[in-house]
Structure formats: structure tokens, C-alpha cells
Amino acid sequence: MTDLLNAVIGGTPVGCVFALLAVGLVLTYRTAGVFNLAFGAQAFVSAAVYYDTRVRHEWPIWAALVVSVFVVAPLLGYLLDRALFRHLRTARSIAKLVTTLGLLVAIPEITKLWFGGGASFGVKGIWPTTDEIGGPTIYRWGDYAVDGNQVATVLVTLAAVAALTAMFRWSQLGLRMRATVESPRMTELAGINADRISTFAWMLSSLFAGLAGVLLAPLFSQVNNENFLFLLIAAMAAAAFGSLRSIPMTLVGGIALGIGYQLLYTWLPAGSILSQGLRPALPFGALFLLLLFWPGLRDRREAADPLAGVDPPPPAPAATLRTRGMTISTRVLGVGVFVLISAGVAWFFDDFWVLLFVTGIVYAVIFCSITVITGMAGLLSLSQAAFAGIGAFTTAQLVDRFGMQVLLAIVLGAVLAAVVGGLFALPVLRLEGLYLALATLAFAAMFQFVVVPQDWAGGRNLEIPRPIIGSIDFSSTRAYYFLCLAFLGLASVAVLLIKRGTVGRYLDALRGSEVAAVSVGIDPRRARVTAFGLSAGIAGLGGGLLAVLDGRLNLLNYNFIQGLVWVVLVVTLGPRAIQAAITAGIMFKLFPELISRVDISALPDTLNPAQNPQALAFALFGLGALTYAKHPEGIIEFQTAKSLEFVNRHILRRPDPEAEAGDTGAETVEVAS
Amino acid sequence: MSPTTLLEAEGVTKRFAGITALSRASLRVDEGEIVGLIGPNGAGKTTLFDCIYGYLRPDGGQVRFCGEDLIGRRRHERARLGIGRTFQRIELFTGMSVRDHLLVAERARQGTGGLWRDLRGKGGPTSEEVARVDEVLDLLGLLDLAERPIEALSLGRARLVELGRALMIDPRLLLLDEPSSGLDGDETIAMGGVLTRVCADRQVAVLLVEHDVELVRAVTSRLYVLDFGTLIAEGATDTVLGDEAVRKAYLGST
């Protein structure tokens, strides 16, 4: 009984933080139609500002609180709405998701660049400190104890949620917000500026994120980026419990999760594998199960932006028309340039650059998996890192335990990843869009927290030799480079063939219109499970190649946050184009290295590329994703189309191909693939 | 010899939270005939259509196609059984050309594609497939537009592409959901002409859910009229349209 009560006392404040974030999430999801994956990152900003003002600049608590929660947080919300989400109202839900994903990657990196220092900082509560060591006051009675920060967290949460509920129910503004949710068009006709309402909703939700960021003290002693993603996922689970709709239920869900979290701590034997694995995985598991089974989410129609009805839908993108000759010549040119560069690297560069380049090539193989799942199937999967990890772990285990041929082990690893991907897809593909993205994120995180720490899976110190096939020894980096190039060639040819073949065209049809594809007899589940398995297999292949390249298992490579950066980068450059995946792979490794050579000593250390290349690169990758909504075909495809148009118009001096085809039908044109 | 019954709905009932949207509605479509289903807005036409096509599970009654129970079957299986359909709000595969729309349907009808075939480089359209597709495009007068991207077509032509796509699966029955919506008078008349021609040419039966009385009068031989979730009339088109109760419920002042 004491245990249970202690868990309730300890868990409630934790749950309150979850709930605060969750309420903010629901707020923007309902009033603006954006499920904000970057919400945890917004909390991170406020936490960083609070820490910076309170600890580094020694401001009084109230001043730091006011600035971080009541100034910075709403300002951020205002900026996000004005600069980004206002323009995305009529965008497809995947475009909104990608945008928030980009922010999720970029905001923490920018925050780190801004405030400098390491990736994590200590947390100070908002309760005045009274004892000598600077901790908050602790109140005890009997066997139970709470500290001031925990009390503050609970009180602030209850007050904030109560105020929000009251505002919705009784205030003029709340009425307007509810009206906007129901029908923005009617609201505007009634003379209310719906734009302003949505801006207000963004600022308000951002305020909740800020509160959560500052009230973290009971939860973590040190805060870094990953903690906020963890928090966000817990908040998503709470929001799912409230069916992404009900604020009281969201509060209950958050608190229940907090208590459950605490209970696992009490009940599981300390230090056991279970407690190490299960406890961090609880929110992910909860989210995963809720998404699959919670009746409240049965009605799976996503909240489109209710304001979407006010604006006319954006015009359909004019399909790019290009002649067969042009398509072939661009392909030949692309392959030619790639072959020249790769050969040049092998012959003229030293080992350092070759290593970098081969790592990029291996990442390009992994990124081909994103082309399949996101580009071809149109599904945003955030679990590619886990599938790459499965490939890598299998390869390592097979080589280490059974002394298997390395190349065979890599292939078997890919096969296993494909099987796991296919099995995972079976239940999960009932979900669509947002819910699918969340479920895959939860899966990737569970993989990292539950499977990776197990000895049988990871084995951190396994050594993996490079393969020797017959008389060819691939142990040198240069030789292995050619092997990886061969694999990349195989993977991209396979992807191209599938794209042109039945599976690819079925997926195209399903993306274009699922109901219509079903009406001609295409089985959507079968097509998507195939795509998912295939994509997981390619990721697994890349993962295995990467492990062999490193010569050991480097767990950081398969970290699920890295996986988010991968998706962001590939989708920005071009989700459907294989050349974009390859460019992304090489950029992923090469870009940080290149900018690290740019030493601008005029800049403060934290902003100087030479000092902070990785963070700067990731911040730029994340910001790049903000272009996705405008160019869903990707930057590379967009530029290709633009330069082809230029060639057409100014060099070949051809008239507009569409006009010509329309009138005479003389020229054969084909829709760009 | 009496024609075989293709589609048979018997006593289909559907309730939404206490409201009975459809009450014991029955209808039948025989081989080769064009049957209309009309009714004022909110009469339950779409509900009945959705129960037949499997978007809704009826609370009572049966839906059979060629004697086989349809309820509970997955939707894509309906195409394999020989039921094609078009959509009220047009549903096209964005980014594909007109011919590709039909080629996808043709491959789906054969059901022979797969990952392995793609990987051997044999996943592209075969010349027989292109020939079959072009035959249908020709029938619909779309052959000149075969290479155009679908976005470049007018709504009337896009509806023909939808029809062509549905024809590629060799349907025995076509369910057409308001094919005239969004079309002007001339286009509707043209659509009616094409429908009659296509059905005769391909020996397809049609269940036409429609608002436009002129189109219904022009193409259907039999008619069902729904009002407030119940069938209020059925029979030969001319008889039904002349019926007093129907005029009152549906046609109002006209």
C-alpha cells in the first residue's frame, strides 16, 4: 500500500508534465489541424531559456519564468503560425507532418547553437530553494514525502487545465475557438477573423509547451534533446488516451501514465534487464497499443485543418512533361556524373575521404528504403533506423556466433529485417498518415530501449571483419568501397524496376486515390505490406553494410533520432527520386565534414561551423524540410524540372510541349516518372 | 429464357445512432440491364450504395452478387467478382496519364504482377495489355488523349476515364454513383449516349444512382425510388416517372 501511494505521489507530478504537453498538442491538432511533432522541441526551448536566465544569469525565479514561459514560448508559437503553418492550411497531412518533423530536428539544434555548451543542462525547479545544498523544500508526513517542485508542478498543471477548460466553456474567445473548430467558413461569415483565432491557438499551445519545459524538474535531473522526444511521446500517448479530443481525459491519461511509470520503478527489481528496458519503453508501448486498440481513436478520419474549407484548394501541380529523349539524356548524364565522381574518389583521394565517401554510399543504400516507403508508398515511416539496426545486429551475431561468411550474413540480416518489417506492417498498416507515423516512431523507440540493451541482441563489443570472397579481399576501405558501390547499384536498379513495375504502379494508384485503386481490385494491404517489407529489407542491408564498414556495432548509428534526420533529409531532397536518396546519403556524411573546414572566427564559437559542424548541419537539414510543403517532389526533382524547362526554352528553342501535344498530338510526350 | 440475376439486395436496413437511414430496402439488377436508383437528397441512396459496396455494414438484410454473399467481403474482392464502379466525387490517380489509369486496372484484373516479376524487369506494360486498353480508349473516344496527364482533362472526359478504368476489369455489373454530377446539360447527354453504347457493346449491367431525371429517363429501363429510407416505387422507368407518389416525393413542383 505504501508502495502504491508513493508511486501515486511520485508519479502524479510526472504525469502532470505529460498532460501539459498533451493538452497543448490536442489544442493545435484540433484548432489548427497540425499534429505538432516539434512540440517537445518547443518545450526544450523554454527549458533552455529558463535555465540560461535563471542559472547562468542568476535572474530571480519570477523573471526567468515570465520570460521563458510567457514571452518566449508564445512568441515561438506566433512565429511558427505566421511563418509556416498559416500557409500550410490546405496542404496534405503528410506535408504538415514533414514540416513539424523538420522543426523537431532543427529547433533543438538551433537552441544548442544559440546557448552553446553541451547537449544537456541541469534542471532547476520553480520552487524557491531553502536548504543548504540548493534543493527545494521537502515536505514529509509519515512514510511519504514530496518536494516543493512536485507540488508546484501539480498545482500549475491543474490551474492551467482548469483555466483552459473554463476559457473554452465560458469565454467569448473560447466560444469563437470552438466555432472555428466546427466550421471556419461559418465563423468567418459571422465576422470573426479565423486567422487570428488560429494564431491565438498556436500561442496558447506553445505556452503549454513552455510550462511543461519549465516544470520538468521532478522528472529529469539533466535535460537533453532526447528527453524531450521521450516526453513528447508520453504526451502523445496521453493525447491518444483522450482520443486527441478530450482535455479532461488527456489529463487523466497523462497522470495515469506518470503513475504507471513510477510503479514500474517500484515493482520491477532494480537494475534488472526488465526495469532498464521496460521503464523507458512504457510511453512508447502505451502509445503503440493505444494507437492500435483504443476505441476512442476508431474514428480514424484525421482532423483536417478546419480552416482548410475557407481557402480554395491549391491548384493541382501541372505534371511535368518531358520528351523521352530528355528523360534518357538526364538519366545518362546523372549516372555518368556519379560514376566519374566515384571513380575519382577511389583513385585520387586519400583514405580519410574514401572512408567518408563509402560511409555516404552505405547511407545511400539505407536511404533507398525511404524512397520505397515514403516516395512510392506515400507512407511516412519513422522506423527505418530500427530496421537498419536489425540488419546490423543480425549480421554481427551471425558472424560472431556461427562464423558465417560476412556477405551471407549481411544478406540474411536484410532478409530478417524484411520479415520483421512485413510482420510489423500487418497490424500497423490499418493506421494511416499521422497514426502510422506515430506508430512507427513508437516502434523505433521501443526497439532502441527494449531490444538494443539486451545482451543477445546488441553485444556492443562484437568485432565484424570485412568479407573475403574467393580470392578477393575486401578488408581495405578502398576495396570495400567498390563492394558497397555494387550494393548501391543493385539496390537502386531494384528500386527503379519496382517503381516501373506492377508493385510501383499499384502503389502510385493507391497514393493517387485509395478508393479508386481498391475499386479495380488492388489489395491495399498486400501492396503496402510488400512495400514495407521491401523497404525494411533495404534498410537492413544498409545497416549490415554499415556495421561491417565500422568493423563493430556502433549503436549510435541506429539511434531512432538519427532515423528522423534521415527521413527529413531524403524527403527534402526528393522522396521519389533515387538520385535524391543517393545525394542525401553522401550529403549526410560529407556535409558536416565540409562545413567543419569553414572557419569563420568572426562568429561566436557556437555558431562557427568549424566548432559545431554536426549541430549546424542537422539544423540546416531540419530547416530544409520546411521547403517540402512547397516542393513535395523534392528540391532535386524541382531543380531538374526547372533546368529541363530552361534547356527546352532557351537552348532547344522548343515551344511549350503541352501546347503542342494538345493541338496536334504530333510529339510523343510522357509524364515524368 | 429469363435473364440471370446479378445483384440482389434484400431487406437492407441501416441505422445511425437511432436514425433509420435505410429500412428494408430491396433491389435487383439482372444481366445486361440498366437500372436506376433515384430519390431526393437524404433519401438513403448513398447509404444503400455504400451497403452494397461494403463501406457500411448493414444492420439487417442481405446483399448477394451472382448468389454469393457480399457482406463482410473486403472491398477489393468486389472487382474480382466482376463489380466495377465510378465515384460521385471523381477519384483519379494523380500524376498518371490517361492510358496508365487503364493499364493499372488491366494488370489488377489479371492479378499476375508481383515483386519477383518486377525485379526481372518484366513489370512494365505488355503489348497485349496496351492493345486491350487502347480498344477501350477507342470505344470511349479517348484514344487521342491517351498520353495526356490526367490533370489536363476536363471533368466530363475525366469521368469517361473513370468509366474506362472500371471497364478494364471486365465487369458484369457497373455501379455508377451520380455520373452526371458536375457536368453541364450537353455533357450529360453525351454521357448518357456513351453509357448506352458501352453497355450494349460490352454486355454490362448498370446500377445508376442519379439525380438527373433526364439522364435516368434516357438510359434506364427500370427504376427504384427511395424516399426517407424506404422504397416508394419500382418498375419500368416510364411508369415510375409517371407515378403520382413519385412526382410528389421526388419531383416536387415539376
- pLDDT above 90 covers a percentage of chain A that reads 28
Q: Show the low-confidence residues of chain B (pLDDT under 70).
A: 1-2, 250-254
pLDDT tens digits for A81-117?
988 888 887 777 788 888 999 998 888 888 877 776 5
Q: What's residue A11's pLDDT? A: 84
* More confident: A144 or B183: B183
For A266-295, what is the mean pLDDT?
75
Task: For B176, name the nearest residue in chain A, comparing CA atoms only.
Answer: A519
Q: What's residue A659's pLDDT? A: 45
B79 and A519 within 8 Å at the Cβ level: the answer is yes
pLDDT tens digits for B111-131?
887 888 888 888 888 999 999
> What is the value of pTM for the model shown?
0.87
Low-confidence winner among A32-36, A337-341, A574-578, A644-648 (lowest mean pLDDT) = A644-648
Q: Which of B79, B84, B104 sits opposite A506 (nearest CB)?
A: B104
Minimal CA separation from B245 to chain A, in Å: 36
Where in chain A are the domains? 2-309, 337-595, 641-671
Residue A222: strand, helix, or coil: strand
Q: Cell 527534402 appears where?
A: A572
For A482-509, what is the mean pLDDT?
93
* Residue in A615, A627, A612, A497 with CA at minimum distance from that of residue A574: A627
For A10-19, what is the mean pLDDT?
88
Cell triple for A573 = 531532397
* More confident: A229 or B65: B65
For A274-283, what is the mean pLDDT?
71
Which residues of B are less than 8 Å from A511 in CB distance?
93-94
Q: What's residue B130's pLDDT? A: 94
Q: With a cut of 50, say whether residue A313 has pLDDT above it.
A: no
Q: Which of A321, A494, A511 sits opposite B119 (nearest CB)?
A: A494
Write down the ipTM of this complex: 0.92
Cell triple for A37 = 511533432
- pLDDT above 70 covers a percentage of chain A that reads 85
pLDDT tens digits for B165-208?
999 999 999 999 888 888 888 888 888 898 998 888 888 999 99
Minimal CA separation from B251 to chain A, in Å: 31
pLDDT tens digits for A515-565?
999 999 999 999 999 999 999 999 999 999 999 998 888 777 888 888 999
Residue A441: strand, helix, or coil: helix
Contact partners, residue A239, CB within 8 Å, separation at least 6: A22, A25, A26, A29, A250, A253
Q: Reply yes or no on domain A2-309 having CATH 1.10.10.
A: no
Average confidence score pLDDT of chain A: 82
A334 — pLDDT class (breaks 50, 70, 90): confident
pLDDT tens digits for A493-504?
999 999 989 999
B151 and A319 within 8 Å at the Cβ level: the answer is yes
Q: What's residue A576's pLDDT? A: 87
Q: With a cut of 50, say whether residue A310 has pLDDT above it.
A: no
B165 and A520 within 8 Å at the Cβ level: the answer is yes
The answer to whether residues A439 and A297 touch, using CB atoms and an 8 Å cutoff, is: no
Q: Which of B84, B92, B144 sits opposite A513 (nearest CB)?
A: B92
Pairing of strands A670-671, B34-38: unpaired
A273 — pLDDT class (breaks 50, 70, 90): low
* Residue in A534, A531, A545 with CA at minimum distance from that of residue A394: A545
Best residue of A492, A502, A660, A673 to probe chain B, by most B CBs closer than 10 Å? A502
pLDDT tens digits for A374-417?
999 988 999 999 999 999 999 988 988 888 889 999 999 999 99
> Which domains are seen in chain B, by residue range?
1-77+176-254 (3.40.50.300), 83-169 (3.40.50.300)
Q: What's residue B7's pLDDT? A: 92
A512 and B92 within 8 Å at the Cβ level: the answer is yes
Best residue of A492, A511, A519 to probe chain B, by most B CBs closer than 10 Å? A519
Q: With a cut of 60, say whether residue A484 has pLDDT above it.
A: yes
Q: What is the dihedral of CA A542, A543, A544, A545, to 10 degrees?
A: 50
Q: What's residue A656's pLDDT? A: 54
Which residues of A are less than 8 Å from B122 in CB distance?
501
Helix axes A433-446 and A225-241, enclosed angle (nearest 10): 130
DSSP state, residue A4: H
B108 and A520 within 8 Å at the Cβ level: the answer is yes
B94 and A316 within 8 Å at the Cβ level: the answer is yes
A521 and B77 within 8 Å at the Cβ level: the answer is yes
Sequence-separated contacts (24+) of B158-161 with Cβ below 8 Å: B158/B90, B158/B92, B159/B86, B159/B90, B159/B183, B159/B191, B160/B191, B160/B194, B161/B92, B161/B98, B161/B101, B161/B102
Which residues of A are less than 8 Å from B84 in CB distance?
519-520
* More confident: A312 or A652: A652
Q: 3-state SS of chain B? A: CCCCEEEEEEEEEEEECCEEEEEEEEEEEECCCEEEEECCCCCCHHHHHHHHHCCCCCCEEEEEECCEECCCCCCHHHHHHCEEECCCCCCCCCCCEHHHHHHHHHHHHHCCCCHHHHHCCCCCCCHHHHHHHHHHHHHHCCHHHCCCEHHHCCHHHHHHHHHHHHHCCCCCEEEEECCCCCCCHHHHHHHHHHHHHHHHHHCCEEEEECCCHHHHHHHCCEEEEEECCEEEEEEEHHHHHHCHHHHHHHHCCC
Please report, for residues A92, A529, A533, the alpha-carbon distance to residue A422 in angstroms, rounded to integers and kept in the order given: 26, 6, 4
DSSP state, residue A472: E
A631 — pLDDT class (breaks 50, 70, 90): confident
Q: With a cut of 50, say whether residue A667 has pLDDT above it.
A: no
